[in-house]
Structure 1
Amino acid sequence: MEAQHTMFVCTTCASVWEDGKRIGESGGEKLFQQLQREHQNWELKGSFAIAPVKCMSACNRSCTISFAFPGKSTYLFGDLSSELSEQEVAGVFECASKYYAHTEGLLPWAQRSEPLKKGILAKIPAPVVTAVEEAEMSVTA
């Protein structure tokens, strides 16, 4: 099976908690549902999955999403509204398209669309895989 690009969306972001239990629908769930609906109309829907994640450990910067693919840098964005405007949703998918198109997944600030120009939490470099490790992985696959 070929690896897919993935947009992860934290579904516990902007939760309301009472006595250790989450109350109602979180902001992250709302954001995931909104992005998931629009994902169905996106030209890259077959190549770029959208997946929920229970926690991305950026609670003080919610709501969060990330873009990931083996061999590319992973980006983590925060401070997103749980209810993006139509233009902001289009901006998220535009930025994801740029990530998809770049061989290393680079997203320079000036090339990012709104709302992902602000709120960058991390750019994690792709792991370096040696030729020996790559050969071992292909044998076990």
Structure 2
Amino acid sequence: MNQTGGDHLLTQLSNLYENWSLQSEFAIQEVECLSGCDRSCTIAFSAPNKATLMFGDLPPLESAAEILKFSEKYFTSATGIIPRQERPEALKKGILARIPPLPHATQASF
């Protein structure tokens, strides 16, 4: 069975993650689909009280280290918004979505 670009990216991320200083603060979670079929490799960053950011068109063999660099900026950001000029090169373009954090409500929002 051939590996997809996403498989390669996940493998590289997982290898770098093992010795990463923020390992205890982040979880890498493989998902079956982010509906970014035309824009693969696709990843998303999500945290409580922060915007969820989704990126596509990531080069699967060259992006892992830059994703972790971006993760460090996302971690220290109060809002999760990282200006384009402060992003690592692989994440300067390809943003697919910026979803505001859910309000502190007791019911679902739409």
TM above 0.5, one fold? yes
Highest relative contact order (Cα 8 Å, sep 6+), 1 or 2? 2
Give unmatched runs, 5+ long, in structure 1: 1-22, 135-141
2:39 maps to what in 1? 61
Distance, in Å, in 2 between the alignment partners of 1:111 and 1:24 is 35
Q: Give, as a single letter, the amino acid of the residue that structure 2 aligns with 1:33.
A: T
Contact 2:56 2:95 in 1 (8 A): yes
Q: Deviations over 1:82-122 (max 9, x none)?
A: 211xxx43221111100001121111111111110011111
Distance, in Å, in 1 between the alignment partners of 2:7 and 2:13 is 10
2:94 maps to what in 1? 119
Give unmatched runs, 5+ long, in structure 2: none
> What TM-score comes out, normalization by structure 2 length?
0.90
Say if 2:45 is the partner of 1:45: no
**Could you list the runs of 4 or more consecutive aligned residues of structure 1 that deviate by over 3 angstroms after TM superposition?**
none
> What TM-score comes out, normalization by structure 1 length?
0.71
Q: Considering fraction of residues, name the structure with more strand.
A: 1
Contact 2:59 2:90 in 1 (8 A): no
Partner residue of 1:108 out of 80, 83, 94: 83
Which has the larger Rg?
1
Partner residue of 2:6 out of 6, 16, 28: 28
Contact 1:92 1:114 in 2 (8 A): no
Residue correspondences, number: 107
* Percent of residue pairs identical: 41
